[in-house]
Amino acid sequence: MNMKRVMIVGTMMVTMSFAGTAWGKSAISPIPLAKWSIVNLDTKDGSGDELLSALNQASEEDLVQELYVGKSLRMIAEENGVDINEVISLQVRQLREQLDQRLASGSISPEQHAVQTAELEELVTESANAAYTLV
């Protein structure tokens, strides 16, 4: 597999992982909230990013900084005593769920779904093992 494709897929996976927390929050609140309210009516925990938890990272900024200095997800996992196979499984599961949603919504065909699903594990594994440095 060529390096350009690995970089594109890796970037896409990291972006989707980070963006997943933002997409999960509702933009519409059923109850108008006063600015002084101390009660959080959002039932989702904002700190519950599965990838951050799986990698034992405190924040998205910490993970981004580690990736920015040229570490791979494998390196980050090993430094934090995490099994990289669990991280890979988590990302494969999340991406498979996204593909299933895209298939259900009609934005991809069953053929595209089948091809992309078949490539998921290989692409995620290659991306997790790749370290990227800015030139």
The pLDDT assigned to 117 comes to 93
Tens of pLDDT, residue by residue over 62-92, are 988 998 899 999 999 999 999 999 999 999 9
Is residue 113 predicted with pLDDT exceeding 90? yes
88 and 128 in contact (C-beta within 8 Å)?
yes
**What's the mean pLDDT when you consider all of the chain?**
77
Greater pLDDT, 61 or 5: 61
Indicate the DSSP class of residue 24.
T
Query: Which of the two residues, 35 and 78, has the higher pLDDT score?
Result: 78
| pLDDT higher than 90, residue 40 | no
Please tell me the predicted confidence (pLDDT) of residue 131: 87
- Cα gap 101→30, rounded to integer Å: 25
Query: Nearest-CA neighbor of 24 among 96, 92, 97, 87?
Result: 97
Q: What's the pTM? A: 0.62
Tell me the C-alpha distance between 84 and 74, whole Å. 6
- Length of the chain as a residue count: 135
Answer for the pair 46, 21: CB distance below 8 angstroms, yes or no.
yes
Name the residue among 50, 32, 51, 52 with its Cα closest to residue 41: 32
pLDDT exceeds cutoff 90 at 34: no
pLDDT above 70 coverage of the chain, percent: 63
